[in-house]
Every structure is written in C-alpha cells, then in structure tokens.
Amino acid sequence: MIAWLLPPLGLLAGLMLGAVTLTPAEALSLLADPVQPLGQLLWQWRLPRVLAAGCVGALLALGGAVFQGVFRNPLAEPYLLGSAGGAAVGATVALLVALPLPQWLALPLLAFCGAWGATWLVLALARLADGTSIAALLLAGVAVAALLGAVRSFLMLALSDETVSLQAVLAWALGGVQTPSWRELAVLAALTAAALGLCLALARGLDLLGLGEAVAESFGLPVRRFVALAVLAGAFVVAVSVVWGGLVGFVGLMAPHLARWTSGPLHRGLLPRAAAIGAGLAMLCDGAARALLPPAEIPLGLVTAAIGAPFFLLVLAREARRG
C-alpha cells in the first residue's frame, strides 16, 4: 500500500518545494491557473522537473532490484556495483572529449558502455575472490568505484577548460535532475516504461535464480546467458538514469528493500513496487534539494547519500546478524 502512496506524495511535495515553497492548496490552485507567472513556472519548470526526478528514481530502483536479484545480494545497487560510476566515466568522456558523434548520441552510448563494462569488471573481480560472499562483491565494488573515481577526476583535471565543462562534469558526479521540456519528458517516460517492461520480462528468471544456480538450471533457466542478459538490461536502465540524473546513490538500494518488505521477494510484484517507491523517494529528495538553500540547489546525490548511507548500514547490520 505504502508503495503506491509514495509517488503521489512525492509529486505533491515536489510541486510544493522549490526556490519558493508553496502550500498544497497554493500549488494546486496555481496549477489550475497557468496564466499567472508562478502558475506558468509550475507548469514549465517545476512539474516536468519533478516528473523527471520520478522517472530517474524509478529507473534507479529497477536497476537496483535487477542487480540485487541477479547477484543474489541485498547490498547490490548501481552506485556500489560501479555501474553508475562507469556510466559517469563514459559521460565524462562524452562531455569533455571531442568525438566524431553528436553529443545526444555520444552521451547515452558511452554512459551505457561505461555502466556495462564496470558492472562486469566488479562481477569478475568478485568471482575471482569468492562469488557468493557479500564481502567479495562489496570490496570489488569499492575497488572499482575508487578506480573509476580516479579516472574521472583525472579526466576532469586534464581535459576541462576553466569553467563550463568542469562544472558540468562535477554536477554529474554529484547528481542532479535536468529539467526536461515536455517532449523530452515524454521520451524519458517512454524509456522508463520500456525499462519496467524489460525488467518484468526478467522477473521469472530472477525468481528462479534466487533459489540457487543449480535449481534454476534444473528448471530450464540457461543461467549464464540469463545473467549476461540481466546485467546488460541493468546497465541499460542505469545508463538512462545517469544520463538524466547524474550519479544518484542509494535510491537503487533503498527502493527494492522497502518494496521487498511490503510485497515479498517475488519479482513480478517487487519490480513495479520498487519503481514506485524509487520514484516517490527521488521526487521527495529532489524537492528537498531544491528547497533547502534557495536560490541555489543542493545536488540531489548529496541528499540521497545523507539518507541512503544510514539505510545501507542498517541493511548491512541485518545481513551480518543473519550471517
């Protein structure tokens, strides 16, 4: 139930919060009267921004849910698995290096390649150590994230000019939703819906994988091929979210957990609920990011980290107790 309440709550909070904070009644009456300058502002800027934040949150949650399922690891999430960091390195290259591709194509393409490559690298390193342990995956994630952070920092130092590019890359790294036009929002919403469909198609396989690789094989799941496909799908989902929202950590960790607590572990029910919770969380956090320090904005990634890091520790403690 709470899963379906969060998105409207996040939407309302997102509409109220910003450089000027409104009461719910003011926000709704201004939406009904778009002739007023503030009403125009709500329609032209705040509403598309809030909805875009919702899509980014939903994508991160889907990415997290798929990665947690495929790695059978409750701490897997795009940020910690290196896929978000990989996407950011790809995006940094697209922003700072003159490529023979238009930027609207280079950005998502390189973000996807970065996300996919980094996820595989983490997975391979974890398997080298001990594929089944949480510690192995976490440590591999930490190592790859440190490496990717260093690569990104070097690229920023070496390739940026005095102002524009460096700020753009830094804004990516700290996370922050770009305000789309209504047409761009339609594209993002369509991609989010496609991502949900893609992840739902993986639901049965993820459920089987949860029973163990041998059992999954015995049910006829080609495990290796399925894992490869699921990582590819997860990387695609994360890359779309990074293109629109930069590096936003912990939503992909929190949302699937909250969904699992309310709907159980079966992915057909879990995935849409995780997406709804992710959307609601991101809209709430983005609203806070816009309202806490007007007329400036706090990068969204800082807000989600402030909430997500304690949540991560909570999950880690639970897992440690469980052994």
Query: What is the number of other CB atoms lying within 10 angstroms of the CB of residue 24?
Result: 11
Min separation Cβ 291 and other proteins, Å: 10
C-beta of 207 vs 286, nearer to other proteins: 286
Contact 299, 290 (CB under 8 A): no
Among 158, 197, 322, 323, binds other proteins (CB under 8 A): 158
176-179, long-range: CB < 8 A, 24+ apart? 176/245, 176/246, 176/289, 176/297, 176/299, 176/300, 176/301, 177/49, 177/52, 177/53, 177/56, 177/244, 177/245, 177/246, 177/282, 177/286, 177/300, 178/52, 178/244, 178/245, 179/45, 179/48, 179/49, 179/52
Among 102, 197, 295, 323, binds other proteins (CB under 8 A): 295
Among 8, 212, 222, 294, binds other proteins (CB under 8 A): 294
Tell which positions 22-41 bind other proteins, by CB under 8 A: 37-38, 40-41
Residues in contact with other proteins, counted by CB under 8 A, come to a total of 38
Length of the chain: 323
Min separation Cβ 143 and other proteins, Å: 25
Residue with tokens 């201004």: 30
C-beta of 32 vs 158, nearer to other proteins: 158
SS3 label, residue 222: coil
SS3 label, residue 102: coil
**Is residue 160 close enough to count as binding other proteins by CB under 8 A?**
yes
Min separation Cβ 179 and other proteins, Å: 5
C-beta of 60 vs 227, nearer to other proteins: 60
**Is residue 172 close enough to count as binding other proteins by CB under 8 A?**
yes
226, amino acid identity: F
Tell which positions 56-95 bind other proteins, by CB under 8 A: 95
Q: Within the chain, what is the greatest distance between any pair of CA atoms?
A: 64
Contact 81, 140 (CB under 8 A): no
Tokens of 87: 């996407």
**Is residue 286 close enough to count as binding other proteins by CB under 8 A?**
no
**Is residue 180 close enough to count as binding other proteins by CB under 8 A?**
yes
Tell which positions 234-273 bind other proteins, by CB under 8 A: 246
Write out the residues near other proteins by the rule CB under 8 A.
Answer: 18-20, 37-38, 40-41, 44-46, 48-49, 95, 157-158, 160, 162-164, 167-168, 170-172, 176-181, 184, 246, 290, 293-297
